[in-house]
Amino acid sequence: MNPRRKFEEAGGLSRIAQVVPGLAVVCALGSWLGAVSAAWAATSSLDAPLTESAPSHGSSVSSVLILLVLIIISAKIGGALMERIRQPAVLGELVLGVLLGNLSLVGVHGLDSMKSNEAIGILAELGVIFLLFEVGLESNIKQMLEVGASSFLVALVGVVVPMLLGWGVGAWFLPASGTLIHVFIGATLCATSVGITARVLKDLGKTSAKEARIILGAAVIDDVMGLVILAAASGIIKAADRGGAGISVLDVGYIVFKAVAFLVVALWIGTRLSPRMFSIASKLNVHGMLLAVGICFCFILSYLASRIELAPIVGAFAAGLILDPVHYQDFRERGEHSIEELIRPISSFLVPVFFVLMGARVDLRTFADSSILGFAFVLTVVAILGKQACALAVLERGLDRLSVGIGMIPRGEVGLIFASTGASLMLRGSPVVSSSTYSAVVIMVILTTLITPPLLKVSVARGDRQKRLRQQASSAAHP
């Protein structure tokens, strides 16, 4: 008998197929540990006093380069491991970031500077700008206006109820903190990660179902509302920090109006300016012009948002909403890729830097305090329950309301953006989101993101069974 055939009949190939993934994971972890060791050695030597012959600028660049190598390798390994168990890659990036940021607990201190490295911080901020730019590009103003009353009501309930619950939890666990801090903690529970839910629905082949359209439409509207709340809360906190005693109801109304007005005016002017801008740029037959104009448009709106004391990500999201393939049709006719395709390589580099850094800033020592663990647990519970209230806002009869509520649970990257913004805001000399609160919020983000895929799969299967039973009962009643 042919030896190869005999080997196959003995099941050798199948056993190899089972072993290879395990070897791949071991190799991946080995390469990650090797990168950690190399980075530790490199950063440790770079942190040593510089000699006269060693230029400080070169050493600074070298330390940033080796940190980026470690961050990117960690992000990709973490993402690959999570995707193997059918979880979003962002969870792996976040978890590996937590491990990197807490290596000092096992005696490795060479990476402590990563959390406060200015260059890494700037790259992370650029990453979140590109992330919101991408979200805006994938959204569509017309589709947002056509999603119907159910999507709007689901989004509205999904913002108001979790925010009030989070506000209450913040006041309960942090009674010594001010009301503004409690409000901001509530705001971190507002938004929904549309990307995670969309991926699960796509895997289930349910993106065309009515429940899926309601969930995705509501999640997009939810993000817009969340960004307005983030912009308003940040502005209120900055004003209160300058004024000392606080601000009036009129000032609060002005800040909210400013956030809404920026989005409306940016969308109104941008949709008229964008086609002309790309038309002029298309006449300059230079390679990379479409990408350059798209990025500059994003950066300009992000800059304008920051100038009126809104978060730059509000401007980035608005830029993505404005840009439509119709606006740069001249470039497309020449065979160029769309802006979404062009910025994807940049995002795949910068966005993981943001997530790994957000994970690295989680201090695991804070969880030695049982009150912090209790805070994280209760925050997670109200984050889940708050989104379940969305199910009550579905107007259509006969739909799977439970799946709608579950689909709105994951906070994902949006929750991290809120947490990182709060950590950077100062109120009376202290960060709005302290290290312990930040850790609790990140745990909430991880848990809500982790439980959604399996829960949604079970809920959708249950909903399908109930629909079949109703159809069978209807057919039996009306033969």
Q: Which domain holds residue 305?
A: 119-465
Domain boundary among 50, 82, 116: 116
Contacts of 475 (CB under 8 A, 6+ apart): none
Indicate if 105 and 127 belong to the same structural domain.
no
Most confident of 1-5, 39-43, 359-363: 359-363
Asked if residue 374 belongs to a domain, the reply is: yes
Indicate if 82 and 130 belong to the same structural domain.
no
Domain boundary among 67, 84, 116: 116
Q: How many CB atoms lie within 10 A of CB 253?
A: 11
Domain boundary among 96, 116, 136: 116
Indicate if 39 and 150 belong to the same structural domain.
no
Q: Which of 128-142, 239-253, 345-359, 418-432 has the lowest mean pLDDT?
A: 239-253
Helices (H) and strands (E) in the chain, counts: 19, 2
What's the pLDDT at 52?
A: 41
Q: What percent of the chain has pLDDT over 90?
A: 8
Contacts of 438 (CB under 8 A, 6+ apart): 361, 362, 419, 422, 423
Asked if residue 478 belongs to a domain, the reply is: no
Q: List helix spans (H) across 308-434.
A: 312-322, 329-333, 339-360, 370-388, 401-407, 412-424
Burial 181-213, CB ≥16 within 10 A → b, else e: bbbbbbbbbbbbbbbbbbbbbeebebeebbbbb
- Identify which of 292, 276, 267 has the alpha carbon closest to the alpha carbon of residue 330: 276
Asked if residue 13 belongs to a domain, the reply is: no
Cβ pair 318, 262 in contact under 8 A: yes
Asked if residue 12 belongs to a domain, the reply is: no
pLDDT band at 242 (very low <50, low <70, confident <90, very high): confident
The yes-or-no verdict on residue 319 having pLDDT over 70 is yes
> How many domains does the structure of the chain reveal?
2
Asked if residue 287 belongs to a domain, the reply is: yes
pLDDT band at 248 (very low <50, low <70, confident <90, very high): low
- Backbone phi and psi for residue 371, each to the nearest 5 degrees, phi listed first: -65, -30
Indicate if 185 and 293 belong to the same structural domain.
yes
Cβ pair 169, 379 in contact under 8 A: yes
Indicate if 160 and 59 belong to the same structural domain.
no
Q: Which residue has the higher pLDDT, 36 or 92?
A: 92
d(CA 329, CA 338): 9
Indicate if 160 and 294 belong to the same structural domain.
yes
| Residue 291 C-alpha from the chain's centroid | 23
d(CA 423, CA 433): 5
Asked if residue 318 belongs to a domain, the reply is: yes
pLDDT digits (tens, 9 = 90+) for 18-54: 434 443 444 444 444 444 444 454 444 444 443 444 4
Indicate if 223 and 103 belong to the same structural domain.
no
Average the pLDDT over 314-322 and give the result.
Answer: 84
Asked if residue 10 belongs to a domain, the reply is: no
- Identify which of 104, 101, 11, 35 has the alpha carbon closest to the alpha carbon of residue 356: 101
Q: Which of 35-44, 146-155, 186-195 has the lowest mean pLDDT?
A: 35-44
CATH classification of the domain holding 263: 1.20.1530.20
| Local structure of 35: helix, strand or coil | helix
Indicate if 139 and 53 belong to the same structural domain.
no
Indicate if 145 and 183 belong to the same structural domain.
yes
The yes-or-no verdict on residue 335 having pLDDT over 50 is yes
Cβ pair 111, 103 in contact under 8 A: yes
Indicate if 370 and 245 belong to the same structural domain.
yes
- pTM higher than 0.75 for the full model? no
| Residue 118 C-alpha from the chain's centroid | 21
d(CA 451, CA 412): 11
Indicate if 333 and 376 belong to the same structural domain.
yes
Asked if residue 157 belongs to a domain, the reply is: yes
What's the pLDDT at 114?
A: 83
Q: Cα angle at 366 between 364 and 371, to 5 degrees?
A: 130
Which token pair is 110? 């060479």
Indicate if 152 and 92 belong to the same structural domain.
no
